[in-house]
């Protein structure tokens, strides 16, 4: 009996776990885009090994897919969701491509993908400026 109350409390707390706000999801997306860039730059400069770079780009891709789906369903009307959707899809494509190009050791193509990713990131930055602050 004595254990019941803390248990109920814990379950309620877990249930009350907040879903991340759109702003937080946006930060998370930017964080993972920046991570992919940093990994890619590192791979080109040979500061991080192939396997790690490939796995981390794949992880980035996976995480971005997840957050983007969640975010697009809960966007405030102030943001152009169609534009955001397309730029996120394109940046995910670049990340996915880079992960593949590592195995092929193809740095010229890899560099092109990275440049496009950088351009996409700027667009995401601009779109997210339209988001209302908490």
Partner 1 sequence: MKKILQITLGIVTSVGGFLEIGSVTTAMQAGASFGYQLLWAVLLGTLCLIFLVEMSGRLAAVSKHTIVEATRERFGFPFFFIVLIGMALVSFLVLVAELGGIGLALQILTGVGFPWWAIPVSFVVWVMMWKGTFSLIENGASMLGLVTISFVVAAFKLHPDWGTAAHGLLPTFPDDKKANYWFIAVSILGASISPYLMYFYSSGAIEDEWDETYIPINRIIAGIGMSFGGFLSMAVLIVAALVFHPKGIDVEKFEQASLLMTTALPKWGFTLFALSMLFACFGAALEISLSIAYFFAQGFGWNWSEDLTPSKDARFCLTYTVIIMAAAIPLLFGVDPIKVTIISMALTAVALPLAIAPFLFLMNDPIYLGEHRNGWLSNTVVTIVILLSFVVAIIAIPLEIIGS
Residues that bind partner 1 (CB under 8 A): 13, 16-18, 21, 27-28, 30-31, 34-35, 37-39, 42, 45-49, 51-52, 55-56, 59, 133-134
Q: Residue 21, Cβ neighbours under 10 Å: how many?
A: 13
Which CB sits closer to partner 1, 48 or 81? 48
Which CB sits closer to partner 1, 45 or 82? 45
Cβ-proximal residues to 53 (8 Å cutoff; 6+ apart), any chain: 39, 40, 42, 43, 102
Q: Residue 74: what are its φ and ψ, rounded to 5°? A: -130, 25
> Least distance to partner 1 from the beta carbon of 120, Å?
15
> Least distance to partner 1 from the beta carbon of 88, Å?
16
Which CB sits closer to partner 1, 2 or 46? 46
CA 10 to chain centre: 31
Return d(Cα 86, Cα 20) in angstroms, integer.
22
């Amino acid at each position: 009996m004595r254990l019941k109350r803390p248990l109920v409390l814990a379950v309620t707390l877990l249930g009350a776990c907040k879903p991340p706000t759109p702003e937080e999801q946006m930060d998370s997306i930017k964080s993972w885009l920046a991570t992919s860039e940093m990994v890619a730059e590192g791979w080109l400069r040979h500061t991080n090994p192939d396997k790690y770079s490939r796995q981390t780009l794949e992880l980035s891709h996976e995480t971005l897919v997840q957050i983007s789906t969640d975010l697009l369903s809960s966007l405030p009307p102030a943001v152009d969701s169609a534009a955001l959707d397309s730029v996120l899809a394109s940046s995910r494509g670049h990340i996915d491509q880079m992960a593949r190009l590592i195995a092929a050791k193809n740095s010229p193509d890899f560099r092109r993908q990275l440049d496009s990713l950088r351009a996409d990131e700027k667009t995401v930055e601009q779109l997210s400026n339209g988001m209302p602050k908490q």
